[in-house]
Amino acid sequence: MSLIKNWYTVDEAASRYGISIQQLLGWVENGLVRSEGNKGKVLLINGDDIELKLNLTPSV
- Strand, helix or coil at 10? helix
Is residue 37 scored above 70 in pLDDT? yes
Is residue 2 scored above 90 in pLDDT? no
pLDDT band, residue 40 (cuts 50/70/90): confident
**Side chain identity at residue 42, one-letter code:** V
Is the Cβ–Cβ distance between 11 and 24 less than 8 Å?
no
Q: What was the pLDDT predicted at 4?
A: 73
- Strand, helix or coil at 60? coil
**Side chain identity at residue 53, one-letter code:** K
Average pLDDT, the chain: 89
Write down the pTM of the prediction. 0.80
Own/partner contacts of 51-54, CB < 8 Å, gap of 24 or more, are 51/17, 53/27, 54/17, 54/19
